[in-house]
Copies of this chain bind each other. A is one copy, B any other.
Amino acid sequence: MRMAQTDDSPAPDATTLKLYELASADETVRFSPHCWKTRMALAHKGLNAERIPWRFTDKDVIAFSGQGLVPVLVDGEAVVNDSWRIAEHLEERYPHPSLFGGDTGRAVARFVNSWADGTLVPAIIKVIAVDIHNRIAAKDQGYFRQSRERRFGMSLEAFTADTATAREGLRHALAPLRFTLRQQAFVCGATPAYADYCVFGMMMWARCISPVELLEQDDPVFAWRERLLDAHDGLARHAPRAQ
C-alpha cells in the first residue's frame, strides 16, 4: 500500500530507498542520463537513497525488476524501473515539493522528456560514443560496441569522427530550450523541477563520461546548466567525472 508523505510519515532514509545506477569502469562515476533524472528528482524531494553501481552487462543483478535497464528504484516493497515511472512514483508517494506542479505540468513535462530523449540523446551520442566506450568497465565494452554499432550502422569511431559538426548539430537542436531560457531561469519557471531534470540529465551524461565541452559559455543553456550544477547543494557539480 502506498502512503503519501506527511508530517507523520518522515522521508525514508537510505536504508529504505535503493537506486541502481549505471557506472563507468570507475564505480564512483555514474553517467546515465536517465539515472541523473532520477538522482535530481530524489534530491528535489529531499530523499536519500543507497546508490548501487551497475554495469550494462549486469542484467541478472536487476532481473528482479522484470527488465534489464537502469534506473531501478527500490522503495520498500515497491520496485520501479524507467525514469519517468520513477518520477511519477516519487510524486505520488512524496508529494512535496512537487516535481510537476500538477496534472497539466506533469503532462507537458512528458513532452519535454520525449524531446530530450528523442532529440538530445541522438545529438549528444554523436559526440561522446567513443568516450563512453573507452571509460566503461572492460566487461561492458564488447556489449556497448556491438549494440551501438548495430544501431548506428557503422563503427563507433566513424560515427563520432566529425565532432565539430556533431556539436553544431547539438547546439541547433537546443534552440527551443535556448529561446525558453531567454525568458525564464528554468524550464519550470523561477525554480527547477522535473522538466529541467529531464534535459539536465543529458548534460550530466556528457559531463561525467567525456572531456568534451558541449556548450559555448555565452549560451543561455550554459548558464542554466551552471544553475542546475549548483542546485541541491551542488550535488551535480561535485559528482565524480571519468578521467
Contacts and interface: CB of A to CB of B under 8 A. Distances in A.
Contact of A118 (B110, B175, B193): B175
Interface string A173-189: 00111011001101111
Main secondary structure, interface of A, reads helix
Given A104-B101, A118-B175, A118-B176, A110 B184 contact: yes
A217 to B, nearest CB: 22
Contact of A176 (B107, B109, B115, B190): B115
Interface in A53-104: 98, 100-104
A103 B100 CA distance: 10
| Copies of this chain, tallied across the complex | 2
Contacts of A187: 107-108, 111
A151 to B, nearest CB: 16
Contact of A104 (B102, B114, B118, B119): B102
B107 A184 contact: yes
B175 A107 contact: no
Interface string A106-135: 111111101101110000000000000000
Interface in A180-209: 180, 183-184, 186-190, 193, 195
B100 A179 contact: no
Interface residues of A, number: 33
Contacts of A46: none
A111 B176 contact: yes
A186 to B, nearest CB: 7
A103 B101 contact: yes
Contact of A105 (B108, B177, B180): B108
Nearest to A186: B107
A184 B115 CA distance: 15
Interface of A: 98, 100-112, 114-115, 117-119, 175-177, 179-180, 183-184, 186-190, 193, 195
12 contacts: A101-B101, A101-B102, A101-B103, A102-B102, A104-B195, A105-B108, A110-B183, A110-B184, A111-B187, A111-B195, A114-B177, A118-B176
